[in-house]
A = this chain, B = another copy of it.
């Protein structure tokens, strides 16, 4: 239990650190949820950027403190941009996360997801179908999000139970989780602590927002308000986390 308590307190401290340091997060983000993700990052206190132009993405990645690579609406140009941006991240030792959206729908997307994972991201985050089809990802923190989020590194698994069913009705909450994890990694190089902080912040903000919502539309606005208003003590008071070795 000591370890768990430490994690929650650390997560609360990281929220304060994100708000203070205002990290830049460059997002290779599917076209569907770009504004939703940018607004979520801004609500947290981070500074988003979004270009996926091959001629500009290296300049943006160089200025960023962390990178999120989301594979939604993937095409040839976006794939080239991702290769350029992740090369910058690797050579400058910036943290980066892969979100293999719908890789279970498309063989070419799955192949590209595997290529990226082999090149050494800090974190891989997906839903159950996506994570199951990807399988092994050595050396990467694997996060399966859903009603319960499972974070697995080597043989350790952390489970986070915060969140609300409305999240599943809002397009992009998973994509935003990936971006928030990148923001937390920008201020905390222990990726498990960073991801735990991001998922606790997101899940607890969702629980607060759900109390003020009458459906997914009002929830989306309230969730953003709650992310902007979230305090470290909200994390300490509401975290539901467990930890297992196996």
Instruction: Please give the residue numbers on chain A whose beta carbons come within 8 Å of chain B beta carbons, in ascending order.
Output: 30-36, 38-39, 42-43, 48-56, 59-60, 63, 72-77, 102, 105-109, 169-172, 213-218, 220-226, 228-229
Contacts and interface: CB of A to CB of B under 8 A. Distances in A.
Contact of A33 (B35, B53, B221): B35
Given A43-B216, A215-B224, A217-B224, A55 B76 contact: yes
15 contacts: A30-B50, A35-B36, A39-B220, A49-B105, A51-B73, A55-B75, A56-B106, A59-B105, A59-B106, A169-B228, A215-B226, A216-B225, A216-B228, A217-B221, A217-B228
A218 B221 contact: yes
Nearest to A75: B53
A31 B213 CA distance: 28
A169 B48 CA distance: 11
The 8 closest A-B pairs by CB, nearest first: A215-B225, A217-B224, A217-B221, A53-B75, A38-B171, A32-B34, A59-B106, A56-B106
Contacts of A107: 59
A216 B77 CA distance: 33
A31 B53 CA distance: 12
Contacts of A75: 51, 53-56, 77
A60 B101 CA distance: 13
Given A106-B59, A169-B42, A169-B43, A229 B215 contact: yes
B221 A225 contact: no
Contact of A73 (B39, B50, B220): B50
A58 B106 CA distance: 9
A212 to B, nearest CB: 8
A184 to B, nearest CB: 19
Contacts of A214: 225, 229
A74 B56 contact: yes
A201 B2 CA distance: 53
B229 A222 contact: no
A33 B107 CA distance: 27
